Structure formats: C-alpha cells, structure tokens
C-alpha cells in the first residue's frame, strides 16, 4: 500500500515523513524520525510514557496516527531543553532524583510542562490529578510531585 506523505512541524522545525495508514505518531517519531525520547510503555494509552503536545494539547502519541500530525505542531521531549540549557523541570527532576529507570520521565516532563503552562501555581492535589495518567514503576511519585511543585515556585520566582 502506498505510504502517506505528511508535512508537519516538530519542535518548531518543518518536517516531512512517509508513513503507513495505521502507523502511530509514536512509531513515526521513534522509527522514522529517530526521536526516541518519547517512550512506549503500553501502546494502549494507559501509561503516559509517550506523551507529546499536538497543537497545544497533551496527547498519548501511541493513540494518535502519524497522518493526524499533518499540518499540525508537535512538541516532544527533544524540544524541551534549549541547547545545553535544561528546562527548569528537567533540572529539578535531576536535582531531586525524581527518576530511576527513566522510562516514564519524558512523559512526566512533557505533561508537567503542559500543567505549569496552564496553571503556574498548582496545589499538590492538582499536580497529582494532572499526572494521574502518567505511571511510574520506580519512584513512588513523591519526588516527581515535589520536583514539579518546586519548579512551579522557581518559575514564579517565589
């Protein structure tokens, strides 16, 4: 079957790729574009490891088709740091050891960034609810939540 030719924007760059009709955005990112930061934990929308932004909406890339990215804007974990400068969330995750194996980490970071962009002063409960779709088998979540709250305070300058 002929592949689809898709033009999209990824992390601010215009990108073209070919994909099968049923190929997920996650598979396109990882297998065609070699952006392997987004992880596949479950491939069924349950773990959040594949979280990306699609036209400003937080989505599971394993539940989106590659063709659906046509003429849209995709933001992945690869676009989070600016050159050598980590995003404050990335730095706080490192400083607070809010990761162990790291499989869940890109998804948590993308989701947490989306939260802080719409709510710069979340409560702990709001952070936990927002991140409820992101599963972590290692950390017990407390360090992740603390890192997000401290990043929010850092960005607010308090």
Q: Can you give the binding site for ligand FES, defined by CB under 6 A? A: 40-43, 45-50, 60, 62, 99-104, 136-139
Which residue's CB is nearer to ligand FES, number 5 or number 129? 129
Which residue's CB is nearer to ligand FES, number 45 or number 88? 45
- Among candidate residues 41, 150, 156, 153, the one with its CA nearest the CA of residue 93: 150
User: Which run of H or E residues covers position 137?
Assistant: none
Q: From the CB of 121, what's the least distance to ligand FES, in Å?
A: 25
Q: From the CB of 44, what's the least distance to ligand FES, in Å?
A: 6
- Beta-carbon contacts of 98 under 8 Å, excluding residues fewer than 6 positions away, are 92, 105, 108, 139, 143, 144, 146, 147
Q: From the CB of 64, what's the least distance to ligand FES, in Å?
A: 9
Which residue's CB is nearer to ligand FES, number 6 or number 104? 104
Please report, for residues 22, 42, 86, the alpha-carbon distance to residue 63 in angstroms, rounded to integers and kept in the order given: 11, 11, 28
């Amino acid at each position: 079957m002929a592949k689809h030719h898709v033009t999209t924007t990824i992390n601010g760059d215009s990108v073209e790729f070919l994909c099968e009709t049923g190929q997920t955005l996650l598979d396109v990112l990882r297998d065609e574009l070699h952006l392997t930061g987004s992880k596949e934990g479950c491939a069924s929308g349950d773990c959040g490891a594949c979280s990306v932004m699609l036209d400003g909406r937080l989505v599971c890339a394993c539940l989106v088709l590659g063709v659906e990215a046509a003429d849209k804007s995709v933001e992945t974990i690869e676009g989070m740091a600016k050159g050598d400068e980590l995003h404050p969330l990335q730095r706080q995750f490192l400083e607070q050891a809010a990761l162990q194996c790291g499989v869940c980490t890109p998804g948590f970071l993308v989701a947490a960034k989306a939260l802080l962009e719409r709510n710069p002063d979340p409560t702990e409960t709001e952070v936990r609810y927002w991140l409820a779709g992101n599963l972590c088998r290692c950390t017990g979540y407390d360090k992740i939540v603390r890192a997000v709250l401290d990043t929010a305070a850092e960005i607010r300058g308090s």
